[in-house]
Amino acid sequence: MSLPVVDYLKLPDNEDPYLEGHKCKKCSSIFLGERNVCSNCFSREGMEAIKLSNTGKLYSYSIVFRSFPGIDVPYISAIVDLDGGGTVKGNLIDCDPDPEKIEFDMPVEVVFDDALGRKDSEGNSYISYFFKPIS
Amino acid sequence: MSDVFVLGVDMIKFGRFPDRSVPDLGAEAALLALDDAGLTIDNMEAFYCGNLGQANAMVGQRILQEIGQTGIPVVNCSNACATGATAFREAWTSIKAGLYDVVLAVGVEQMGAGLLGGTGGGAGIPKEGLLGSGTMPAVFAEAGMEHSRQYGTTFEQFAKISVKNHHHSTMNPKARYQIETPLDEVMNAEMISYPNTKLMCSVNVDGAAAAVLVSEKKAKELGMGRAVRVKASVLTSDPYQERDLVMPDVNSCTRKAAKEAYEMAGIGADDVDLVELHDCFATAEMLHYENLGLCEDGGAGRLIDEGEVELGGRVPVNVSGGLLSKGHPLGATGIANIYEVCTHLRGEAGERQVENAKIGLTHVIGLGSACGIHILEKA
């Protein structure tokens, strides 16, 4: 059985994986990960766990050609604004790492797959999320 | 509250000193600044020391063990790349508060080689290259591409910033490099994180810089001849932005700090004769032209295209060579840029002197984020 790569990736039984946000009950700001107090409006009224959309638009990116040893390059590091709120960073896949081929606001979907074969020290495998262009 | 003056300030030539220690580098800068002020360590009433790499290792006290253990209070501080500016500001604050008349601030760093940053450690598996990149070149590339998205800023325009700063550094003997880098060389250098090539990334170096700050009373007593007035000292953290958690924000904290600094100094951006800003990457410098009000929003590309930010232009930026060529020893940077501006205000910058410089601004960003701005004026 695989584990989620980050706390905000949820792997429910008998349901599709999804990304989870926490939405301020007062000002509706959306955060990744749990928290008690809203850092935007300072409200302590609480946070509501919400399912983030699995579609969004490319906000910004970089094409990474030099990374740490053992990490395959090039790849596209992408910042995606999800439809309905929340911003997430991840790898943009199935897209040429060429600025001519990457357009701001291009629609993408969030897909879930094995975490590039990476395993932890106990041999556990992980599920990660990726962005894929919607043609 | 007393005005605060820089009476002595200096930096060591930035470079690679693997055989020396952090306290040793800091001690050299401290002695240079004391000599510049015509004072000695036993005149200092307090010492504010900035260092990142050995933040838990009492660097300030170890510097005093090399230059004089007088028993004064030592505050060691770390605030990412705003560390030096934070130490300087703590020194300034102590004089403003009326606690002391003469204090020392030192920023010092010894750097490793290679990429800084990276996406998360923590439990599980490494996230770098899996959930995008957390390396500094990529993070600042993404911030630059946000500017491209808004204003159509091009790879070539970003690259021109690096050409400019490398050119400036040929006139600065204390810079790590004194090498011209023509535009085609910058653009064809190894691509690190598009649009930042290797020549558009700051240089990891070892370095140290120091300043002696005094109250107005003390400045008058010791002679105002080469003193520089600190007209504004501002430190901010990053106000909430909706993309904060995935896109560290260097813009809103700079805009907030700039606004507060201009108000404190009672001047506008048009009154500034030279700027040393945080060009950790070429993409970052582009953002700060607008963040510091050197031009209107969307005008940054034009500023670099038309040479307004070159030596001899309307408002020269990073005539020291900047972090891109002078080098970026993290904890030292925020005092080294104060040294640069003071040197121009004193008319002692030689070949790279900004003519008739009366007011200068220094700016640093520590990612996470902290912004430090100082406005300095010829006394």
Q: List phi, psi (to 5°) of B234.
A: -135, 140
- Only one residue has tokens 């002696």, namely B212
Q: Which listed residue (B77, B81, B201, B253) is catalytic?
A: B81
- Nearest Cα to Cα of residue B182 among B201, B160, B202, B203: B160
The nearest alpha carbon in chain B to A40 belongs to: B240
Contact B131 A6 (CB under 8 A): yes
Quote ipTM for the complex: 0.96
CA dist B83 and B106 (Å) reads: 10
Nearest to B194 among A59, A63, A115 (CB): A63
Model pLDDT for residues B170-200, shown as the tens digit of each residue: 999 999 999 999 999 999 999 999 999 999 9
Provide the whole-model pTM.
0.96
Domain ranges of chain B: 4-113+203-378
* CA B133 – CA B245 distance, rounded (Å): 14
| CB contact A91 to B (< 8 Å) | yes
B354: left (phi over 0), alpha (psi -120 to 50) or beta: beta
Identify whether B363 is a catalytic site residue: no
Cα B219 to Cα B338, B343, B357: the distances in Å are 18, 18, 21
Of B109, B119, B45, the residue nearest B81 (C-alpha): B109
**Closest chain B residue to A29, measured at CA:** B242
Report the Cα B373 to chain-centroid distance in Å: 9
What digits encode the pLDDT tens for the residues B122-136? 678 999 999 999 999
- The model's pLDDT over B49-65, given as tens digits with 9 standing for 90+, comes to 999 999 999 999 999 99
Give helix B59-67 / helix B22-37 axis angle, nearest 10°: 60
Q: Enumerate the domain spans of chain A.
A: 3-133
CB-based contact (8 Å) between A99 and chain B? Answer: yes
Please state, as a whole number, how many other Cβ atoms lie within 10 Å of the Cβ of residue A47.
Answer: 22
A3 contacts on B by Cβ (under 8 Å): 124
- Measured between beta carbons, the chain B residues lying within 8 angstroms of A31 are 245
Count of H-run helices and E-run strands, chain A: 0, 10
Give residue-wise pLDDT tens across range A120-132.
999 999 999 999 9
Q: How is residue B26 written in tokens?
A: 């800091």
- pLDDT attached to residue B334: 98
Q: Is B154 on the interface with A (CB under 8 A)?
A: no
Of A62, A81, A118, the CB nearest to B141: A62
Name the residue of chain B whose CA is nearest to A73's CA. B129
Chain B CB contacts of A82 below 8 Å: none
CB–CB contact B130 A118 (8 Å):
yes
CATH number attached to the domain at B4-113+203-378: 3.40.47.10
Which of A54, A58, A53, A59 is closest to A23 using CA atoms? A53
- Closest-CA distance, B61 to chain A, in angstroms, reads 35
Of the ranges B151-160, B218-227, B289-298, B330-339, which one carries the lowest mean pLDDT score? B218-227
